[in-house]
Amino acid sequence: MNLYRQEYTIDSNMQFLSKKHRSLLIWFTGLSGSGKSTIANQLYNKLYSLGVHAYALDGDNLRLGLNSDLGFSESDRIENIRRVGEVSNLMLDAGIVTLASFVSPLKSHRSMVKSIVGKENFFEVFISTPLEECERRDTKGLFAKARKGQLDYFPGINSPYEKPENPSIEINTLESTVEESVDRILQLILPTIAINS
């Protein structure tokens, strides 16, 4: 392949100085219905109110656009996460704090993203809400379909979900409110993205 990386005058450090903070990928993982998107949305709002340049990537939203050509087979799931990792990497380079909410059920999926963006830029939030509670909520009706055999490869029912071994933070929504969860995450990430003056 005759491909060569194009270098630009404006680099990520200049982006950080312009925005007055560093970038970071905040990766939310957990079962469907665990509360990933809800917490990410509130964190997004909070970061915005603090003047932090941030953007949220959500699994359903990307599958309606960029990844609309992908299904839910194992190979498609891997490609889905790979693309999200690459998009996240571009956003980090632009100096944007990026919030990504994806079930990403396998450790290998999350390791792939970490290798794309660099482990120093990867902050993993494990929403460890129990399966029974996720299934009770079933806001999208997905668990019911999976139980009836209408959905293949559904994590927690007919496909595995591998819990993170050492997440940056673990949150159980039965034990913490959305506000408490957001505050806990903020306490950890704000020092990380701060630029020493």
The string of pLDDT tens digits covering residues 146-157 is 888 888 888 888
Catalytic site positions: 104
Asked whether 85 and 116 are in contact (CB, 8 A), the reply is yes
Prediction pTM value: 0.93
d(CA 51, CA 87): 22
Q: Which 8-state DSSP code applies to residue 91?
A: H
Q: What is the mean pLDDT of residues 73-88?
A: 94
Q: What is the mean pLDDT of residues 63-69?
A: 94
Residue type, 167: P
Q: How confident is the model at residue 130 (pLDDT cuts 50, 70, 90)?
A: very high
pLDDT over 50 at 167, yes or no:
yes
More confident residue, 66 or 5: 66
Question: What is the largest distance, in Å, between two alpha-carbon atoms of the chain?
Answer: 57
Per-residue confidence (pLDDT) for residue 11, from 0 to 100: 85
Q: What is the CATH number of domain 18-129+162-193?
A: 3.40.50.300
SS3 100: strand
More confident residue, 77 or 188: 188
Question: Which of 104, 129, 133 minimizes the C-alpha distance to 116?
Answer: 104
**Domain spans of the chain?**
18-129+162-193
Q: How confident is the model at residue 91 (pLDDT cuts 50, 70, 90)?
A: very high
CA atoms within 13 A on the CB side of 96: 14
